[in-house]
A and B are shown apart, each in its own frame.
Chain A
Amino acid sequence: MTPKQSGAFARRQTPTAGDGPVVRVERLSVAYGSLVAVRDVSFEVGPGEIFGLVGPNGAGKTSITESVGGLRSPVRSGSISVCGLDPHRDRRAVSRLIGMQLQESQFPSRTRVGELCDLYEAIYSEPGASARLLETFGLADRRRSLITELSGGMRQRLALALAQIGDVRLVILDELTTGLDPEHRRGTWHAVLDLAERGVAVLLTSHSMDEVAALCGRVGVLRDGELIALDTPARLTAAHGGPTIISVGFDAAAGIGQLPEALGLTRLSSGTNGQVDYAARFPTDYDRVVQQVVTAGLPASAVTRRLPTLEDAYLGLVGIGTDRTAPENHAFEKGGD
């Protein structure tokens, strides 16, 4: 599979945010001793674009984000540029342009929110910058709170706020919403979208495909250090998500007998939830099956469908849904989802 370089695509492009990509990674390979963590990876992130990197643990996501952030020195080959600068050689200049949220990185202990904000303002020489950000993230009344008194969601929002202090052009978010409840997750998503709206490029990694689908203009899928796919979530889903599952209730299925098979649909093992599943294409096959059911005098509501998701495409791509070609595989028995 060749990665497609659709650099022109950006979901939210701000014309004022300068020209050219913010991040340009070209044929990057990273090795630790004999272990090659990243192999020949290329992608670009434009201003205002949210770019997602997904892949199993150890696929190279962190090696890439840390190389872009200038935290990794062994860039074995290839090149990285952030606003035209080399993140490793021009670390100081690049670090002013990047806000980084590292998943495993904790805040210093025994610290108040306000003190941490003051420190970041001093580091990025932007006094008073945190006031507006704390307001935005609903933390304005928390300046006096110790970090330990904050909930997990508040801490993640604080990390996101701190990553925006200064004149940053790129924000790197490493598994930002891990461990958050759905409400805080949504809140965080809005914050990320706002960031992109202002023309900031966002490079994020995530294990949750609904998050990537909701936020990212483009997604790169990594497996064993290689970029095996790069496209919009919609196109990835269409190309690699597998068939739509059409389910027909047992009674209705009995009423129409083998008719769906006659249309060329493959019958999957019957679900336990009282229906028969077929692998099909949407919408043509769906319309035909509905027609068969209605012709047999049965209610159209007996037919339901489940479209493939980015997660299906992801699992297919990284090889976890290995037997996608064999539809009897349990990977399709997801009718109840």
Chain B
Amino acid sequence: MGLLWQVVRFEARRMMRNFAPVFFALAFPVLMLCMFGGIYGNKPSSQLDGRGTVDLSVPAYLVLVVSVTGLMSFPLGLAEYRDRKVLKRFRATPLGAPAMLIAQGLVNIALSLLGAVLLIVAGRLFFGLHLPNSTGAAVAAAGALVLATLVMYALGGVIAAVAPSERAATAVANLVYFPMIFLSGATIPLQIFPSTMKKISDGVPATYAVKLLQHAWLDSPTNVALDVGVLAGLLILAATAAARLFRWE
């Protein structure tokens, strides 16, 4: 355990020097929130089913935070380590290669957690964000976020597994990440999507995470069984595929 902690510290230092994930997980969602919160405030809006912009955005942006670490930072870190034979280097030591990957996963999850906290604190401090109104709702929201996180990391694992190289992984991650965040309501509210766009968004996994999280947080209407079913099914599929397809070299 002591050794894994050392590896996590090592990976955490490397992460702090990695601009893109740090910016997109910590600063970008808060900046977006400040921009849209600054424009629209948090007053209930008829366009958003009677919810305030900030209340609706924070749960959605939480999915954004776990997507950027799960779909971009995590698989790109793995692909880099595999492509540059760093995994092989550590496989030749008593540490072994899996510890490096576990440490990378933990550091990415810690980064998302920090991003989530910053987002909630900023929403609360600047715009009077409403927190889930019961302990049960808070637990449900946390559970939905954990499920969303696991799905994104499993998908990231598939990206790392199927991409033949670091460059290919970057391309695939971008191709998956951008539709995922823009078509799912994670950045632009689903409530303002026209019906065609809503149909498209039904094909994007993150949509179910956004709906589930908003439901848990705000009690907004959704088909909970469908959301949980899609996410859990995808988690099982993606995790199995990633574990099966992952190459250490």
List residues of chain A with CB under 8 Å of any chain B CB: 69-71, 92, 95-96, 98, 100, 102, 104-112, 115-116, 118-120, 122-124
Contacts and interface: CB of A to CB of B under 8 A. Distances in A.
Interface in B60-113: 80-81, 84-86, 88-89, 91-96
A123 B92 contact: no
Nearest to B2: A122
B60 to A, nearest CB: 31
B93 A115 contact: no
A115 B13 contact: yes
B173 to A, nearest CB: 17
Nearest to B84: A106
Given A102-B85, A115-B10, A95 B17 contact: no
25 contacts: A69-B92, A71-B91, A92-B94, A92-B96, A95-B94, A98-B92, A100-B89, A100-B92, A102-B92, A104-B85, A105-B85, A106-B86, A107-B86, A108-B86, A109-B84, A110-B18, A111-B14, A112-B13, A115-B10, A115-B13, A122-B2, A122-B3, A122-B6, A123-B94, A124-B94
A227 to B, nearest CB: 23
A102 B93 CA distance: 12
A92 B92 CA distance: 9
A109 B79 CA distance: 12
Contacts of B84: 105-106, 109
A105 B89 contact: yes
Closest A-B pairs by Cβ, 3 of them: A105-B85, A106-B84, A122-B6
A106 B3 contact: no
A123 B10 contact: no
B176 interface: no
B94 A109 contact: no
A55 B18 CA distance: 41
A69 B84 CA distance: 19
Contacts of A105: 84-86, 88-89
A100 B7 CA distance: 19
A118 B89 CA distance: 16
A119 B7 contact: yes
B118 to A, nearest CB: 22
B89 A102 contact: yes
Nearest to A97: B94
Nearest to B83: A106
A38 to B, nearest CB: 18
A108 to B, nearest CB: 5
B92 A71 contact: yes
A71 B80 CA distance: 19
Contacts of B92: 69-71, 95, 98, 100, 102
Contacts of B7: 119, 122
Given A95-B94, A123-B94, A118 B6 contact: yes
A100 B89 CA distance: 8
Nearest to B81: A108
Contacts of A118: 6, 10
A239 B55 CA distance: 84
Contacts of A120: 93
A108 B103 CA distance: 13
Contacts of B86: 105-108
Contacts of A107: 86, 89
B14 A110 contact: yes
B98 to A, nearest CB: 13
B89 A124 contact: no
Contacts of B10: 111, 115-116, 118-119
Contact of B14 (A109, A122, A124): A109
B94 A96 contact: yes
Contacts of B18: 110
A71 to B, nearest CB: 6
B17 A110 contact: yes
Contacts of B85: 102, 104-106
A123 B93 contact: yes
Given A100-B93, A105-B85, 9 more contacts: A69-B92, A71-B88, A71-B92, A98-B92, A107-B89, A111-B13, A119-B10, A120-B93, A122-B2
Contacts of A112: 13
A262 to B, nearest CB: 60
A123 B95 contact: yes
A107 B7 CA distance: 14
A274 to B, nearest CB: 50
A29 B238 CA distance: 38
A115 B91 CA distance: 18
B101 to A, nearest CB: 12
Given A92-B94, A95-B93, A111-B14, A119 B88 contact: no
Contacts of A119: 6-7, 10
Contacts of A95: 92-94
User: Which of A100, A107, A112, A119 has the most C-beta atoms of chain B within 10 angstroms of its own C-beta?
Assistant: A119
